[in-house]
Amino acid sequence: NQTAVMEFILLGFPGSPYLQIFLFVLFLLMYTLTVLGNMAIILLVVTHRHLHTPMYFFLCNLSFLEIWYTTSSVPKALAVFLGKNKTISFTGCLLQMYFVFSFGCTEYFLLSVMAYDRYLAICYPLHYSTIMNSSLSAQLALGSWVFGFLAMSPLACLTSQLSFCGSAINHFYCEIESWIVIACTDISTIELLGLTTSIIVILGSCVITLLSYIYIISTILKIPSAQGRQKAFSTCSSHLAVVLIWYGSTIFLFVKPERNFLLELTKTVNIINTIVTPLLNPFIYALRNKEMKEAMQNILRG
């Protein structure tokens, strides 16, 4: 049954035409808000000089990343929901898978870098400006992007050599596990490499983030005044909220016992991962960060 499949069909979510229209409107609304919200964060930081700090430099990188992360999957999903163009070429599927997961890996690294930045700011406030200078912050941001894309390169190369027995992908984008299910050739090497990459990227960055927050919380608890503790915690509360949402959904997706484990539930969790989290990030930072709220108020007041 092995064939040279040149294009695939994305099945999306099963249901009536009314459900497909509802999903289309919902995804389009969330996608639009995601792009506008993250662009607003970038513009706020660029146009306000008092926000030109490493913390907001990393936030700009995260917002820019979120725009492209959701753009790499949602526009094709919108076409699938409308039933206009459910097919995707082999090359297009491979590229979509590569970019979605590369942006995801980059987000892990960026979040751990942001946690390290908060660790330095709270635990070493007197030396923070000396340690986290513009050169180091640029190197950390660039390293997150480079290693994020390099991490997925071996997996993409191996996946490009697969042969397939079918063309229907049970997902709304080319998610790797839903894709290799229909492969005819041996996928044990890909599964092992995928698990190894997940452990290194997800759990590795999680350990860095967790250790950073252990030191942060222990330092905050040693501050004598309640006002001082509240002020210190407010500088990292937004980042902590984003970390909890992001890791909660992605650890379920990539560190689980079986490839076919609750595929429909996996698709649902993917919505949180690829759309909801990028949508919530700008709102979390805008509503929970005092400096961001002041910058927004200044713009609204003219």
pLDDT at residue 113, rounded to an integer: 93
What are the residue ranges spanned by the domains of the chain?
Answer: 14-300
Quote the CATH superfamily of domain 14-300.
Rhodopsin 7-helix transmembrane proteins (1.20.1070.10)
For residue 1, name the pLDDT band (cuts at 50, 70, 90): very low
- Of 34-38, 59-63, 79-83, the one with minimum mean pLDDT is 79-83
Cβ contact 42:63 at 8 Å: yes
- Of 116-130, 133-147, 249-263, the one with minimum mean pLDDT is 249-263
- Annotate 76-94 with b (16+ C-beta within 10 A) or e (fewer): bbbbbbeeeebebebeebb
Residues of the chain with pLDDT > 90: what percent?
26
pTM of structure: 0.87
The mean predicted confidence, pLDDT, of the chain is: 84
| Amino acid occupying residue 61 | N
Is the pLDDT at 50 greater than 70? The verdict is yes
CA nearest to 161, candidates 133, 182, 145, 183: 183
Distance CA 164, CA 2 (A): 6
Secondary element (H or E) of residue 8: strand 7-10
Three-state SS at 171: coil
pLDDT at residue 224, rounded to an integer: 82
- Mean pLDDT for 149-164 is 89
pLDDT digits (tens, 9 = 90+) for 182-201: 888 888 888 888 888 888 88
